[in-house]
């Protein structure tokens, strides 16, 4: 996660009022190119989930993924972009061989 994405996720978690939330990033079958990304806040984790912490040590953001998703996201970067054409999270995934025009699915 970039510093900007970490700060934005931290702000969103604080707005939810539940400090123990984690950002779950998953890869699901579907979309125009074969797989699509899914991101949501989750209060529950599974024993085999992969966890990673981002931040400065104070109020770190926890990102979790199931094992299959973690494998497909290896080396990926989550960023937050805020510009004239809109704002939102974007994943730069070096494992994606092909992406579609919508920007939310890959193969």
Asked if residue 105 belongs to a domain, the reply is no
E-only strand ranges, 4-104? 22-29, 35-42, 50-54, 61-65, 77-83, 86-92
What is the number of domains present in the chain?
1
Which domain does 94 fall in, by range? 3-98
What pLDDT does 84 receive? 79
Q: What pLDDT does 63 receive?
A: 96
Residue 54 domain flag? yes
66 three-class SS = coil
Residue-averaged pLDDT of the chain: 87
CATH of the domain at 14: 2.60.300.12
pLDDT tens figures, 64-73: 999 999 999 9
Cα–chain center distance at 10: 13
Q: Which residues share a beta bridge with 65?
A: 50
Specify the pLDDT at position 98.
Answer: 64
Residue 6: CA count within 13 A, CB half-sphere: 15
Is 107 domain-assigned? Answer: no
Is 103 inside a domain boundary? no
The pLDDT tens digits of the residues spanning 74-103 come to 999 999 998 877 789 989 988 877 665 555
pLDDT reported for residue 82: 87
- The single residue listed with the structure tokens 């510093």 is 3
């Amino acid at each position: 996660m970039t510093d900007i994405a970490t700060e934005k996720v931290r702000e969103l978690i604080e707005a939810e009022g539940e400090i123990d939330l984690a950002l779950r990033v998953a890869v699901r079958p579907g979309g125009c190119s074969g797989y699509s990304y899914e991101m949501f806040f989750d209060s529950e984790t599974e024993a085999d989930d992969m966890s990673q912490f981002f931040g400065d040590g104070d109020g770190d953001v926890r990102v979790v993924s199931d094992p299959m998703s973690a494998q497909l996201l290896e080396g990926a970067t989550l960023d937050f972009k805020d510009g004239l054409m809109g704002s939102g999270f974007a994943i730069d995934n070096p494992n994606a061989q092909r992406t579609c025009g919508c920007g939310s699915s890959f193969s």
